[in-house]
Amino acid sequence: MENSTQIITKLSELAQVVLEKLKAEETDVTLDFQDMSVQGPGPNGQPGNWRLNGKLTLKAKSKGQDNA
């Protein structure tokens, strides 16, 4: 997947994009969350609602082809 501002609607699509980018020789990945809601673990093992709003930047540099 190339650089784009494609809207991702599934967590599996997001994981695919991030993993592809992190396999590259050297890359920066910026994810921009705009009022995103995710259900995950909450207090006392009960489901909780997580709200994400902002940017997350990941940077990776490969040390060789064996790390792909």
Per residue in 20-58, pLDDT tens?
777 777 777 777 888 888 888 888 888 888 888 888 787
Residue among 30, 40, 35, 63 nearest 51 (CA) = 35
Cα–Cα distance between 22 and 68 in angstroms, integer?
9
The residues, any chain, with a CB within 8 Å of residue 32's CB and separated by 6 or more, are 54, 55
Q: How confident is the model at residue 1 (pLDDT cuts 50, 70, 90)?
A: very low
64 pLDDT higher than 50: yes
pLDDT of residue 8: 78
The pTM is what? 0.44
pLDDT of residue 68: 46
